[in-house]
């Protein structure tokens, strides 16, 4: 009724801006996988990666461009980096993650988000970053129907530490994970969403669900 265009929240920004090519040799930059970039321990490259993703997200958005389906626009909200912890090599999304150490993953995310949300000449962030998948998401099978009993020590040491470090860069928020933690779905979990994230890191952090959640 207001004549506003569609807004697509889901623009993946983990390894590249998920967008169709604008023309021959006019495509989004595709970086080495996060596992490889994480293994470099090169924080400057992590920030530069974020900066390129931010610039290209803004460019595709300014063009009114899409992800492949002409109605699925690239907008200024991006999902990434993915900083789940690689606890088992059989996890189906190992290639999306920077590593198995929470501090290392948190520093990777801090640098990448800092680059993604760099300010333009007018003082506006180039894009808004959403960390994923918050949290405890280390098993791909049966997602959406799984619950994990996590001890307080493991929660703080393994599943929240990387997000605490990443939020020092003030991302816009998170994509909550499919799974439940200690009997409460991540997307409706008062402890991780309100007491921890909004109570300790960023009081106005936004939360969006994963696809189909």
146 noted as active-site residue: no
Tokens of 77: 């909200």
Q: How far is 10 from 58, CA to CA, in rounded Å?
A: 14
The backbone region for 170, taken as left when phi is positive above 0, alpha when psi lies in -120 to 50, beta otherwise, is left
Which two tokens mark 58? 């803004």
Helix (H) or strand (E) segment spanning residue 78: strand 77-82
C-alpha to C-alpha distances, 137 to 30, 124, 132, 142, 160, nearest whole angstrom: 25, 32, 9, 11, 12
Beta strand 184-185 with 180-181 is antiparallel
Which residue among the candidates 120, 146, 154, 210 is catalytic per the annotation? 210
Nearest to 80 by CA among 142, 159, 18, 156: 18
Residue 173, H or E segment:
strand 173-176
Give the separation between CA 74 and CA 66, rounded to whole angstroms. Answer: 5
Catalytic residues: 210
């Amino acid at each position: 009724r207001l004549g506003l265009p569609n807004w697509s929240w889901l623009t993946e920004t983990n390894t590249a801006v998920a967008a169709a090519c604008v023309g021959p040799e006019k495509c989004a930059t595709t970086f080495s996988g996060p596992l490889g970039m994480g293994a470099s321990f090169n924080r400057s490259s992590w920030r530069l990666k974020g900066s390129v993703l931010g610039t290209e997200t803004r460019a595709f958005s300014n063009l009114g461009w899409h992800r492949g389906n002409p109605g699925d626009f690239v907008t200024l909200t991006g999902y990434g980096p993915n900083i789940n912890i690689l606890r088992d090599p059989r996890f189906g999304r190992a290639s999306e993650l920077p590593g198995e150490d929470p501090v290392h993953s948190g520093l990777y995310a801090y640098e990448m988000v800092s680059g993604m949300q760099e300010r333009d000449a007018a003082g506006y962030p180039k894009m808004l970053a959403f960390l994923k998948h918050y949290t405890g998401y280390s098993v791909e099978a049966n997602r959406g129907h799984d619950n994990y009993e996590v001890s307080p020590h493991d929660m703080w040491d393994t599943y929240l530490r990387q997000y605490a470090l990443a939020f020092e860069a003030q991302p816009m928020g998170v994509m909550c994970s499919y799974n439940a933690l200690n009997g409460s779905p991540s997307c409706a979990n008062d402890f991780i969403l309100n007491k921890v994230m909004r109570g300790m890191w960023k009081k106005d952090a936004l939360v969006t669900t994963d696809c189909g959640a």
